[in-house]
Amino acid sequence: MTGILRGTYDAVYDARDNEFGDSAGHSITLQNSGAWVAGGGGVPPLGGFLPHGGPVTLPFSAVDGSANAPGVGFGLTAATLVPGQKLANPNSGLIVLGEHYTGQAGGVHYGVPVRPCDEDDRGCIDDYMDADEDELAHPEFNDRWDFIRELYVDADLALGNGNLWSFRVGKQQIVWGRTDLFRVLDIINPIDFSRNTIYDEFEDTRIPLWAMQAEYRMGATGIFDDLNASFVWVFDKFRPANLGQGGTPNQALGAGDLFRGLNNCWDNGCTVSNFFPAAVASGLPPNVIGAGDPTLPGFAATSFGPHTIGIRKANLPSWSLANTQLGLKLEGIYKGVGWSVNYLYTRSQLPSLHGGSSGPSIAFDPFSGLPLGTPQDYLIAFDIEFPRINLIGGSLDFYVDPLKTVFRVEAALSEGEEFADTTRTSLFRESKVLRYVIGIDRPTFIRWLNPNRSFLFSAQLFGQHLLDHHEETGVSGARVGMADWEENWIATLLIQGNYMNDRLNPKIIFARDVRAHGNAIAPSLEWLITDNWRLNFGANFKTGYSGGRHRYDDNRDAIATPGLGATADTAFGLPAGTVPVSASTGATRGAFPLGVFRGGIFGAQIEEDEYFVNIQYRF
């Protein structure tokens, strides 16, 4: 039996509580690049900013269809509160989505509550992103007992024919594949990106699962130098990747902030910058001064009441036999070539946003107050799902003597993954995905740097191809559809040297996101002071990533709220066709909500260079 316990204290929530803890956040203003014609009020200047909750709320409550009082709690009244909603959605404890990234810059942004969920539960998604301060500062001490990092029992059963069954049952990490830094086959355990995003070792960031592995080891058999069959059953309750909660310092692709802000939008309402075309907004009751003024330029900051847009909930699969995961692997060596064939029946550990026609129902049209009760095509109201995935793949490694180089190849084809797609009424599309890594390792002498010890050069090329990718030219002439690149590559190069009997180890990693034009450079120096003490310091810098490659169709001009279709035209006396009821035209583009994914992991952190000092003592 083997057990590993781990406890962590992340001091950032105490040491910098005004940035990440109980006092984090501030009041915010949202860009109003167009003129909003307020009922009985004036016209804010173009290019101005309006406070969260400041712009006029949509006319009616999507909860009960009653008329909203403009500017008061996003239309909520005590009488209309439902469990979980707050009467107050104050302009405090917030940041603007992406404020550390691109600024608002004419795009779609909204407030993100950033305090731990015990201090401020706005935007906290039940069972998914709802950690309180203790759980953030001591992440292992949660209701999944993650302080038991690993606990498993090994058993072997020798058979009469010389073969061997090996079993491991318990909480464990199951590592497939042959490559570093990328997870093509190594996807059984989800990753905790809240631990320094992608910059910690997988060993530390994999989330162990309760599982059983059974290996049937046949050894040298027939034409194979080694042959083994492996069966994996993950019977743990499903766990998604931890993308980092909104308001916390380590988030993958900024998804935590994006989701928390959207959940607050759904639960409590929110103000969204630069949303409605001023030309349309100016014609909406009860703010009508006159008919819509098509001459008004820009986009108006818009306040939505609860249950109109946003993320309603995350549908985490409950435990059932049908929701467990299965894996099969056949692995061996043939004429010196290591190989494996892998199959995994699993779930996506990354969230899929089901919106529009697959999203939550809207009870009432917030523009007309008329009952709806059905999901609305293209509506940016979502439920988070974790779809089933079938994955088949394989790997190879071999040595090419003339090149003095080891080659490592890993590839996987998945079926069932889902990606945002603004052309679909449900705003997502399923796509088969081909991923692969080709890696080479070559020790090479650089004698003027170290005459007696070689440097390890390890290069990898990771490729991802969305085989059912869809993109088309929208009405505006710009591209709409799936923000993710149809095909993309990330190249990495690691160079590591060793001095002082490997007690001083300089290392540098270069990474290049080919399509996003983002780079990361991560130099570090490790010093093993003694067998117990280790000092590691370094940095990672992100560069490149210019030219607006992170901007993409932001779906603003698709039907954004229910009622804004033909019935809305009629109800409000607007000319037919004034309000679109179709997919986005692609005319509006920004870094959020989808562009940030297009920018990739380096692009999302372009403003987050990091310097670190790590001191370890091992008992």
Partner 1 sequence: MVNSKLSAALFASAALVTGNLNAAVTEADVQGSFFPYQDAAPAVEGITPGTVINQSNWQIAADHLDEAMLEAVKEGWTEIKVDETTSFDLHPAYVEATSSGAAKVSLGEGVGNIMGYTAGRPFPQEPSIDDPRAGEKLAWNYQYGYNWGDNANINPFYWKFRNMNSGKVERTLKFGFSFLNFKHRVGTEPIPEYDENPADIFRSIYLHVLEPFDLKNTQLLIYRYKDDAKRDDSWLYLGFQRRVRRLATGQVTDSFLGSDLMIQDFEGYNGRISDMNWRYLGTQDMLLPFYNHNDMQLSDEYEDDDGYRYIDFGGKGGCFPQITWQLRKAYKVEVVPVDESSPISKRIVYMDAQTFTLPRSLIYDKADKLWKTFLIGQAHPDHHLPGNKGTGVSLDDSFMVMDMQSLHCTTGQFRGMAYEVADRETFSVQHIRIKGR
Applying CB under 8 A, the residues found at the interface with partner 1 are 162, 164, 166, 168, 172-175, 177-178, 180, 201-203, 215, 217, 219-226, 228, 331, 333, 335-336, 338, 397-399, 401, 404-406, 408, 441-445, 447, 451-454, 456, 498, 501-503, 528, 530-532, 534, 618-619
89-100 burial string, b = 16+ CB within 10 Å, else e? bbbebbbbbbbe
Nearer to partner 1, 331 or 553 (CB): 331
CA 323, distance to chain mean position in Å, is 22
Nearer to partner 1, 228 or 588 (CB): 228
Q: How far is the CB of 392 from partner 1 (least distance, A)?
A: 20
For residues 274 and 298, is the Cβ–Cβ distance under 8 A? yes
For residues 366 and 60, is the Cβ–Cβ distance under 8 A? yes
Nearer to partner 1, 143 or 531 (CB): 531
Nearer to partner 1, 17 or 180 (CB): 180
Give the C-alpha separation, 108 to 481, whole Å: 17
Q: How far is the CB of 169 from partner 1 (least distance, A)?
A: 13
Nearer to partner 1, 228 or 426 (CB): 228
For residues 427 and 353, is the Cβ–Cβ distance under 8 A? yes
Nearer to partner 1, 318 or 501 (CB): 501
The helix/strand/coil state of 261 is helix
Beta-carbon contacts of residue 320 (< 8 Å; ≥ 6 apart): none
Main-chain dihedrals φ then ψ at residue 322, nearest 5 degrees: -70, -20
Kindly state the tokens that stand for 63. 């909860």
Q: How far is the CB of 410 from partner 1 (least distance, A)?
A: 11
Give the C-alpha separation, 568 to 369, whole Å: 11
Q: How far is the CB of 602 from partner 1 (least distance, A)?
A: 22
Amino acid at 597: F
The helix/strand/coil state of 600 is helix
Kindly state the tokens that stand for 4. 């590993």
Kindly state the tokens that stand for 107. 């795009």
Beta bridge partners of 314: 384
For residues 55 and 34, is the Cβ–Cβ distance under 8 A? no
Q: Which element (helix H / strand E) includes 371?
A: strand 371-374
Q: How far is the CB of 347 from partner 1 (least distance, A)?
A: 22
Q: How far is the CB of 619 from partner 1 (least distance, A)?
A: 8
For residues 437 and 410, is the Cβ–Cβ distance under 8 A? yes
Q: How far is the CB of 399 from partner 1 (least distance, A)?
A: 6
Q: How far is the CB of 121 from partner 1 (least distance, A)?
A: 38
Q: How far is the CB of 463 from partner 1 (least distance, A)?
A: 20
Of 376, 379, 366, 290, nearest to 58 by C-alpha is 366
Give the C-alpha separation, 150 to 48, whole Å: 54
Nearer to partner 1, 225 or 430 (CB): 225
Give the C-alpha separation, 456 to 449, whole Å: 13
Q: How far is the CB of 598 from partner 1 (least distance, A)?
A: 30
Nearer to partner 1, 84 or 219 (CB): 219
For residues 358 and 377, is the Cβ–Cβ distance under 8 A? no
Nearer to partner 1, 141 or 527 (CB): 527
Q: How far is the CB of 302 from partner 1 (least distance, A)?
A: 50
Of 71, 78, 113, nearest to 92 by C-alpha is 113
Nearer to partner 1, 223 or 576 (CB): 223
Nearer to partner 1, 152 or 597 (CB): 152
The helix/strand/coil state of 292 is coil
Q: How far is the CB of 615 from partner 1 (least distance, A)?
A: 13
Beta bridge partners of 450: none
Nearer to partner 1, 77 or 221 (CB): 221
Of 553, 58, 48, nearest to 276 by C-alpha is 58
